[in-house]
Amino acid sequence: MAGARVKRNSVRILGIFLLLALAAYSQTRARESLRGLNGVYIHVEPVGKEVEAGGLSASQILKAVQSQLRQAGIPIHEEPQPADGSANLVVIVDTIKHPQGAYLYTVEVSLVQEVHLARRQDHDTFPAQTWGAKAIGLTSANRMDLMLEPIKAKVTEFVTDYLAVNAKPRPPA
């Protein structure tokens, strides 16, 4: 009986280590997809009317993201650049109103770029998400601006991963 319990616990512990190893491998692969990028185009999806009424606009999000990337020295393109895989840093904010008035929100920051499948002979590319981070939270109708903090946190994760695989650009002399 005790031997079976030890065996079950060993299997559980092994399973947890396996999941942690897979998660670390997945994060490394996403980070590696940023290697060699010479900048990104920023695309912020339009926010809902209730989000704007609550104090957060797409232009505020765009300005905050631009500021973070500039401070980190990451070039921002005016339009997607084919030489950089048409890399788009995409920000999406979604909300769902709870019947009692609170809003459940998700914020997602992701990098979408042109990729091709190694198993295919042709070199046709298509857009795919290669890096991403999400946050979920609750806010009230008059405090939608609070969603800006998790957006900034996810952009910080992007900046950290970008700089981990790319030399920090030098400021112009």
Domain boundaries, the chain: 33-165
Q: Does residue 20 register a pLDDT over 90?
A: no
- Taking residues 65-71, report their average pLDDT: 98
CATH of domain 33-165: 3.30.160
pTM of the model: 0.79
Beta bridge partners of 95: 105
Burial 56-81 (b: 16+ CB within 10 A, else e): bebebbeebbeebbeebebeebeebb
- Taking residues 79-102, report their average pLDDT: 92
Greater model confidence, 14 or 3: 3
